[in-house]
Structure 1
Amino acid sequence: MASLGGIIGSGWLFGSLFAANDAGPAAVFSWLIGGFAVLLIGLVYAELSSMIPESGGIVRFPQYSHGSLVSFIMGWAAWIGYCTVTSIEAEAVTQYANYYIPGLYVGKTLTPLGILVSAVLVIAFFLINWYGVRAFAAVNTRLTMFKFVMPVLTLFAFLLFGFHTRNFEHFGGFMPMGSAGVLKAIATAGVIFAFLGFRQSVDLAGEARNPQRDVPRAIVVSILIGVVLYALLQIVFVGALTPADLKAGWANMSMSSPFADVAMTLGLGWLAFLLFFDAVISPAGTGIVYTASTCRIGYALAQNGSWPRVFSLLHPKRGVPYMGMIINLIINLILLAPFPGWNKLVGVVSSAIVFTYVAGPVAALSLRRTGREMNRPLTVKGMGLIAPVAFIIASLIIYWSGWPTTGEVLITMLIGLPFYIYFYRRDKLPAEHVKAGIWLVIYLIFMIIMSYIGTFGKGELKLIPYPLDMLVVAAGSLVAFYWGVNSGIVTAEVNTAVRTQNGDAGMSGKTAHARA
């Protein structure tokens, strides 16, 4: 429910419109390709989370395989991305709530009143998580069940009352923007953003009863459900549009509340009312989920020794990283101001969080060499092929975000390095951790250069034509991948895990966190 609750959020309310803007009817391919890509990445994390079921696993996995530099860069990216998602979901709730309270959203931005309402929502997400993982689970499970019902009801309603097959042939044809539009939609229209929620179960693994069994199941099942649901929603959305909606062309189609607006056009007032109500519930549920995950990312970074120790402080009664939650709350509120709209944030966040995917494939294959003695409840067959393909796919998704979005995100990752240097010197972290992470810094620089000279985005040089630019990104990514795999080291965390499973050490980090 945590993973599915993260997947079914504001993505289903806005993603179909923005994907159609970029790719027309062919946007359904964007959902299928994006879902398949995330599924490959999900298989990597399924194996890792069964081996290392700790809170904030996305940060802990590279700590086991490469040490503090790689884990810090990944954690820095994840923390920035996760913080921002909470703000995105609050803004999505407010944008749809404008139906009930006019004046919250004008044009394409929130008004000052809308930003204030979003701030109140962010505080509400915080309070639900403040009372611990049990309170979070109780609220999230009920919200997710309701969130799943509404998209399914919308599917059947649009099919029965307003589906026009001509929309897939006229108005520029099935693929009016070509294959480049399909690929662009994956990164910038909310496709990848919608699937990002699968990792919520990974981040919460340290508090699961049977993480070795349940977390891999949660990852795979939630992604598969999400792919089917979003692809069908895209089909019925395109089919339900009227000629008036498409008179300005796919790229210029604009709606403040896509599915609800179409429902009202079809005369389905009852469905529009339910959609506006669900549009408040769905993003709110996802906001609650990401609020839970964000503080656990900070907790994991602090456990690694490359983040302020205050983030690792646990509430004596509720067991949550309470100081991290308070700091994250302040940041969430600040982020509401510069990005007053859903589509203003989604491309940046997608790139930031997808960037963190690149560490998983490298860590998975590296640990098969450096951590072969570690307990491995789940061994994914074909990892030697899945891991490099997943790495290349993650790199392409970042690249498809286009300049300047990619530049902003990747440069932000490099800006985090001075913070790492401070913690490196403060705690006298091992020098081999730096050597094991050089590949990632070079990879970051390579992706920034490719984004600037490639063909996706605005203001780029276009020195390498499409699709040759994609081949160059794939080739460079493959070099970085195998460099990263061969840079893996036998870390102290690996040695501790082996001793623990052999009964020669104290309780594991997961057990310690659960007891705390």
Structure 2
Amino acid sequence: MGENRLKREISLFGAFSTVMGTVIGAGVFFKTASVVSFAKSPSLTVFAWVLGGLLTLCAGLTSAELATAIPKTGGAVKYIEYTYGKLPGFLLGWAQSVIYFPANIAALSIIFGTQFIHLFHLSTNLLLPIAIGTGLSVTLVNLLGTRMAANLQSFTLVIKMIPIALIVLVGLFMPASVEVSLFPVRTGGDVGFIHALSGALLATMFAYDGWLGVGAVAGEMKQPEKDLPKAIFLGLTFITIVYVLINFVFLKTLSIDQLSGNLNAASEASNQIFGSMGGKLVTIGILISVYGALNGYTMTGIRVPYALALEEMIPFSQQFQKLSKRFVVPYIAGIFQFLIAAVMMFLGSFDLLTDMLVFVMWLFSLLIFSAVFILRKKEPELKRPYKVPFYPVIPAVAILGGLFILITTLFTQTVLASIGIGITLLGIPVYLLNQKIKGLKKK
């Protein structure tokens, strides 16, 4: 009943702000290093960011149709469950619980530690302790209650736009330290174009991550059929422009060799643009932005195993259902998520973790895009307050783009893709075992 009593209070501007706040995180500052290391040229770097934005726009517009047609708590898990059945829906929830959210938390904690060490000139041996301490501190904030976590999120949402605005507005008008050629689009060195593009595009997808949630507010919008496509189109278009501009500034400030694989590139570019003290202030703003993104993923992530437990879809559901008496937070789920993230911090680098989580989520994204076609044919009478424009072109573009990312990643990063697929498929025996235990309990 509660799902049907959502108040329709969100305006076009409110939805636009939600898109901006959901998508813009830490990737805009730190994925340039990975994109450049694959592209090896300014032209292909910028092209990858533009292409990533267009693909994200098609994905967001497509998934929003399901968000309005199936406005249930659980979001993407419910879209897949509605279309394909309980097991596929569970596998997405499983992948989010053991890969997507923990990997995000681990990757962002690592990047926070990297920037903290760079800012204060500390020993690199402190990276893991700082990363683990950062992830733990955010988990503790969330265990102190939703209000505490929400207040932190609101504060960092404002702060994270400041370094972006400063770098773009000042950097664009600064004299170029490096000559940037955007045409023709080609890779540098001896790397093949498809290999370079696929790696660079996959890297941009972490920065554009968040599009899957942009349709979640559809049930609370005043005019979703009119305002939702506008909010997605304007929001993701603006984000793409910002990402392209900030990367153009990085490219004209630092050389390809200075950017490639350098997770401190944003800080070093800021130092060159604003001077030593100004660069430090911008880096502090970036650190706050990363901490806010980390808080957002932590706050959302602990509710996924909790939601699965409420439906008794995972082992030890009674434990994962537990809420702290004082703060009413699923603390077992929070501890579980942090422990997986801590293990990932020991095992993986920032780029490895983010590439794996992007790959796994795009596996399920393809199911979501395909679900639009399946439900249009299977349930034409289903109420759809919003329909994806230019159907079937936009969903088809989203599917083709997703296939390109997945297939090329399978060939170019086979081990990474195999690990992601393997961990996801581990959810099948977990699901079947849990179903068997439930059956025995009923007897």
CA contact (8 A) 1:49 1:212 kept: no
Of 351, 354, 360, which aligns to 1:352?
360
User: 1:289, 1:270 → 2: CA distance?
Assistant: 29
- SS of the aligned residue for 1:9 comes to coil
The 1:35–1:385 alpha-carbon spacing in structure 2 relative to 1, beyond 3 Å, is same
Moved more, 370-379 or 352-361: 370-379
1:420 aligns with 2:431: yes
Structure 1: where are the runs of 5+ without partners? Answer: 106-110, 430-516
Alpha-carbon RMSD: 3.1
TM-score between the two structures when normalised by the length of structure 1: 0.71
- 2:106 is aligned to 87
- 1:8 is aligned to 24
CA contact (8 A) 2:174 2:273 kept: yes
Note the 1:389-408 alignment, pairs <5 A.
Answer: 389-401=397-409, 402=412, 403-408=414-419
User: 1:316, 1:383 → 2: CA distance?
Assistant: 49
- 1:447 is aligned to none
- 2:14 is aligned to none
The 1:428–1:370 alpha-carbon spacing in structure 2 relative to 1, beyond 3 Å, is farther
Higher relative contact order (CA 8 A, sep 6+): 2
Of 369, 374, 388, which aligns to 1:380?
388
- Residue identity in the other structure for 2:421: L
- 2:193 is aligned to 179
Structure 2: where are the runs of 5+ without partners? Answer: 1-16
- SS of the aligned residue for 2:179 comes to helix
Q: Percent identity?
A: 22
The 1:140–1:201 alpha-carbon spacing in structure 2 relative to 1, beyond 3 Å, is farther
- Residue identity in the other structure for 1:404: V
Q: Deviations over 1:420-446 (max 9, x none)?
A: 2213333469xxxxxxxxxxxxxxxxx
1:325 aligns with 2:343: no
Of 267, 271, 274, which aligns to 1:264?
271
TM-score between the two structures when normalised by the length of structure 2: 0.82
The 1:2–1:55 alpha-carbon spacing in structure 2 relative to 1, beyond 3 Å, is farther
User: 2:415, 2:343 → 1: CA distance?
Assistant: 22
User: 1:202, 1:116 → 2: CA distance?
Assistant: 37
Note the 1:18-417 alignment, pairs <5 A.
Answer: 18-23=34-39, 24-25=41-42, 26-79=44-97, 80-105=99-124, 111=125, 113-163=126-176, 166-168=179-181, 175-176=187-188, 177=191, 179-180=193-194, 181-187=196-202, 190-201=203-214, 210=221, 213=224, 219-241=232-254, 245-246=255-256, 253-265=260-272, 268-303=275-310, 305-308=312-315, 309-310=317-318, 311-313=320-322, 320-339=329-348, 341-401=349-409, 402=412, 403-417=414-428
CA contact (8 A) 2:35 2:204 kept: yes
User: 1:56, 1:70 → 2: CA distance?
Assistant: 14
Q: CA deviation at 1:151?
A: 1.1
Q: CA deviation at 1:345?
A: 1.9
Moved more, 391-400 or 27-36: 391-400
- SS of the aligned residue for 2:95 comes to helix
Q: Deviations over 1:134-155 (max 9, x none)?
A: 4433322221221112112101
CA contact (8 A) 2:186 2:193 kept: no
- SS of the aligned residue for 1:255 comes to coil
The 1:376–1:323 alpha-carbon spacing in structure 2 relative to 1, beyond 3 Å, is farther
Q: CA deviation at 1:357?
A: 1.0
Note the 1:504-515 alignment, pairs <5 A.
Answer: none
User: 1:71, 1:200 → 2: CA distance?
Assistant: 16
CA contact (8 A) 2:109 2:135 kept: yes
The 1:158–1:198 alpha-carbon spacing in structure 2 relative to 1, beyond 3 Å, is same
Q: Deviations over 1:353-378 (max 9, x none)?
A: 22221221123333334444544322
User: 2:397, 2:436 → 1: CA distance?
Assistant: 36
- SS of the aligned residue for 2:269 comes to helix
CA contact (8 A) 1:63 1:304 kept: no
1:17 aligns with 2:33: yes
Q: CA deviation at 1:410?
A: 1.6
Q: CA deviation at 1:286?
A: 0.9
CA contact (8 A) 1:4 1:226 kept: yes
- Residue identity in the other structure for 2:268: D
User: 2:308, 2:295 → 1: CA distance?
Assistant: 21
User: 2:326, 2:243 → 1: CA distance?
Assistant: 40
Q: Deviations over 1:212-236 (max 9, x none)?
A: 8487776555433321111111111
Q: Deviations over 1:327-386 (max 9, x none)?
A: 2122222222112x3223222222122222122112333333444454432222344343
Q: Deviations over 1:160-195 (max 9, x none)?
A: 22325723279x9854256322232011xx300111
- 1:507 is aligned to none
The 1:404–1:16 alpha-carbon spacing in structure 2 relative to 1, beyond 3 Å, is same
